């Protein structure tokens, strides 16, 4: 008998409220690990964890989302892991397009949970 497991998502965001909301929205379909900074997320990844998708904000304490993503893309291990930026930044589309690395998807806060789930399913089908 084949065992089905949920896809694993790493959420990196400095706000605890978003983590609670995302857990409510995504937990029925996905395993969710929440880290509140890029430093914590990198440490978690270095422990050998391998999520199917990484969702990150751009504004975080100590180590912003752009630096976090750049570290992932330079890594031999995570450069092919899909990344979604979920941020309340002004001109988010322009910021994403100007990055020197590829972002698989982005969405502005506030977001529609149905659209978010649709985007996630496209990234990790």
Is residue 78 assigned to a domain?
A: yes
Q: Is pTM beyond 0.75 here?
A: yes
Among candidates 65, 66, 60, which has minimal Cα distance to 14?
Answer: 60
Q: Helix, strand, coil % (nearest 5) of the chain? A: 40, 20, 40
Cα 53 to Cα 32: distance, rounded to the nearest angstrom: 10
Which domain range does residue 32 map to?
8-124
Cα 9 to Cα 81: distance, rounded to the nearest angstrom: 10
Is residue 2 assigned to a domain?
A: no
Is residue 1 assigned to a domain?
A: no
Count of the separate structural domains present in the chain: 1
Taking only the tens of pLDDT, the chain with its 125 residues reads 445 589 999 999 988 788 899 999 999 999 999 999 999 999 999 999 999 999 999 888 777 888 888 888 887 788 789 999 998 878 888 887 777 788 899 999 899 999 999 999 999 97
Is residue 3 assigned to a domain?
A: no
**Which ranges constitute the DSSP H helices of 31-110?**
38-46, 65-74, 92-98
Q: What is the CATH number of the domain that holds 36?
A: 3.40.50.2300
């Amino acid at each position: 008998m084949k065992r089905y497991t949920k896809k694993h998502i790493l959420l990196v965001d400095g706000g605890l409220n978003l983590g609670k909301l995302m857990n409510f929205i995504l937990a029925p379909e996905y395993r969710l690990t929440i880290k509140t900074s890029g430093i914590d997320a990198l440490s978690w990844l270095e422990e050998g964890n391998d999520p199917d998708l990484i969702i990150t904000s751009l504004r975080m304490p100590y180590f912003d989302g752009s630096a976090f993503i750049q570290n992932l893309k330079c890594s031999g291990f995570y450069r092919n892991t899909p990344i979604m930026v979920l941020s309340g930044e002004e001109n988010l589309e322009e910021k994403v397009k100007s990055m020197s690395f590829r972002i698989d998807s982005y969405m502005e806060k506030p977001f529609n949970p149905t659209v978010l789930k649709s985007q996630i399913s496209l990234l990790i089908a």
